[in-house]
Amino acid sequence: MTVSTKTHLPVDCVLAITYNCNSRCVMCDIWKLKNQPELLPMEFLKLPASLRDINISGGEPFLRLDLPQIITNLKKAVPRARMVISSNGFATDLIIRQMKAVLAIKPDIGAAISIDGIGETHNQMRGIPGGFDRAIDTVKKLKELGMRNLRLAYTATNMNIEHLSKVYNLSRELDIEFTHSYAQSSEFYFGGKQNVQNPSVESLQKQYEYLIKQELKTFNLKRWLRAYFAYGMCKFVSSKNPILSHAPGRDFFFLDPSGDIYPSVVHNIKLGNIKEIVNFGQFWCSDEMEEKRKLVNAKNIPVWMICTARSAMRKHPFQVFGWIVKNKLL
């Protein structure tokens, strides 16, 4: 394997640690997958120490009973990374039991609980009667554990776009953070679900404008950056063009439960499998990988997700802060 000097190690990744899922979401078919292979906890020791942000996702990550062992190994391999576990919040007792063990290993770990609307809207989006109440109960119990890094994670579709501002307001009432995404299509993630969204541009703009205005009103840099991310999301959904260029498969990657590594959840080009990797640095910086990145770039798939946008925003500080200053003043 020859090593290229053209690249650097990744800083951001999404780890889907299982495809096992107890939800029935309309925008994702992962719950239909059965008996999918999963990595052993020791394989996570191979991840590069360069990572700064790790989203532990699924499926429903808390259904993996060896989750504390996975977190132990992630902390060993990537001691400086911020970690957030994404969950649908339905298995309240299991989540609280697992989270107690996880917090003993990594006290600053975060949790993002999905809420896609208020009451019945959320239940319909997630296909679980009473799901909203269960997820909110989980949030409250996680707060009682003393978790400070807690957020509501909203996924927008045509069905629930009018609830974006309502879920945002709920996050303010609960005094926790708010993150959001738009339902996307993937050939290999989301159970291969194809989400064709044609949102009303008027609703979309109204909802995102509200969110941006509220975030910019604050005196909190993190929330101003979120306002910029929301601005990018609104532009992306209406035009399909990201406002900043990204480097999928260079700055970030997606790892599926079987160990396959992809540039992102929407780039269907397999870069390798973690089980076959001896040295991640050599793998990532090899000339073979550069050739695969050319294929990724040639596909030119538009994407605007927090894992991809975060590194793009770090790389374009003048553009981001220029927008913040201009819009904050306005």
Interface with ligand SF4 in residues 42-61 (CB under 6 A): 58-60
Cβ 183 to ligand SF4, closest distance in Å? Answer: 9
Cβ 123 to ligand SF4, closest distance in Å? Answer: 13
Q: Which residue from 13, 15, 25, 320 is in contact with ligand SF4, where contact means CB under 6 A?
A: 25
- Burial-class residue 233 by CB neighbours within 10 Å (0-12, 13-18, 19+): buried
Cβ 197 to ligand SF4, closest distance in Å? Answer: 15
Cβ 25 to ligand SF4, closest distance in Å? Answer: 3
| Site mask for ligand SF4 (CB under 6 A), range 2-21, x = bound | -------------------x
- Distance, C-alpha 111 to centroid of its chain: 11
Cβ 274 to ligand SF4, closest distance in Å? Answer: 20
Find out whether 174 and 152 touch, Cβ atoms under 8 Å: yes
Q: What is the DSSP letter of 246?
A: -
Q: Is 28 in the site for ligand SF4 (CB under 6 A)?
A: yes
Q: Is 179 in the site for ligand SF4 (CB under 6 A)?
A: no
Q: Is 220 helix (H, G, I), strand (E, B) or coil?
A: coil
Cβ 13 to ligand SF4, closest distance in Å? Answer: 17
Is the CB of 34 or the CB of 326 nearer to ligand SF4?
A: 34
Q: Which residue has the tokens 């629930």?
A: 160
Q: Is 255 in the site for ligand SF4 (CB under 6 A)?
A: no
Find out whether 266 and 301 touch, Cβ atoms under 8 Å: yes
Q: Is 68 in the site for ligand SF4 (CB under 6 A)?
A: no
Structure tokens at 247: 């480097």
Q: Which residue from 12, 31, 266, 296 is in contact with ligand SF4, where contact means CB under 6 A?
A: 31
Q: What are phi and psi of 194, to 5 degrees?
A: -105, 110
How many positions of this chain bind ligand SF4 (CB under 6 A)? 10
Is the CB of 90 or the CB of 231 nearer to ligand SF4?
A: 90
Is the CB of 55 or the CB of 88 nearer to ligand SF4?
A: 88
Closest to 114 (Cα-Cα) out of 158, 61, 53: 61
Structure tokens at 67: 């989750």
Q: Provide the sign of the torsion angle of the four alpha carbons 92, 95, 98, 102, taken in this order.
A: negative
Is the CB of 156 or the CB of 247 nearer to ligand SF4?
A: 156
What is the spatial distance between Cα 275 and Cα 29, in angstroms, rounded to a whole number? 26
Q: Is 267 helix (H, G, I), strand (E, B) or coil?
A: strand
Residue 177: how many CB atoms within 10 A of its CB?
A: 18
- Distance, C-alpha 325 to centroid of its chain: 27
Cβ 321 to ligand SF4, closest distance in Å? Answer: 33
Is the CB of 21 or the CB of 67 nearer to ligand SF4?
A: 21
Q: Which residues are within 8 A (CB) of 97 and not within 5 positions of it... i.e. 6 or more apart?
A: none
Interface with ligand SF4 in residues 109-168 (CB under 6 A): none
Q: Is 84 in the site for ligand SF4 (CB under 6 A)?
A: no
Task: Give the footprint of ligand SF4 on this chain (CB under 6 A).
Answer: 21, 23, 25, 28, 30-31, 58-60, 88
